[in-house]
Amino acid sequence: MPARRPAGEPQPPRRTQFRTTRHERGKARRARHPAAAYTKEAAFVFWTVPASELPIGWAEAERRLAEQEKKQAQKQAEKQEKGQESERG
C-alpha cells in the first residue's frame, strides 16, 4: 500500500489513458512516417526470366516497368476509343 501524503502537500497529476481507434492510430503513424501514406500505390511485378539472365539490374527493371506501363496505356487508350465508338454508333 502506498504511503500517505502529509496534509497540505499537493497531489501529483494523475496519468490518464486515452483510448484511440485504429483509424486514429493509422493517421498518427502516417503523420510520423510520411512515406507510409504512399504504400497503397505500391505494386508487385513478376517476370519470368531465364536463370542465365539473373540477377536483373535496376536499369533492366526500369526498362521492363516502362515497357509494361506503355502497354497498359495503349490498352487504356483502346478501351476509351471503343467506348467512344459505341456511344456514337
pLDDT per residue over 44-68, tens digit each? 778 888 899 888 898 998 998 899 8
What integer pLDDT is reported at residue 37 of this predicted model?
56
Q: Which residues form the domain of 31?
A: 22-88
- The number of domains in the chain is 1
Q: Is residue 9 part of a domain?
A: no
- DSSP E strands: which ranges in the chain? none
Is the pTM above the cut of 0.85? no
Q: Is residue 31 part of a domain?
A: yes
Q: Is residue 78 part of a domain?
A: yes
Q: Is residue 83 part of a domain?
A: yes
Q: Is residue 61 part of a domain?
A: yes
What integer pLDDT is reported at residue 2 of this predicted model?
65
What share of the chain in percent tops pLDDT 70? 72
- Exposed, middle or buried, 23 (CB in 10 Å: 0-12/13-18/19+)? exposed
In sign, the C-alpha dihedral spanning 15, 19, 25, 31 is negative
Write down the mean pLDDT value for the chain.
77
Q: Is residue 6 part of a domain?
A: no
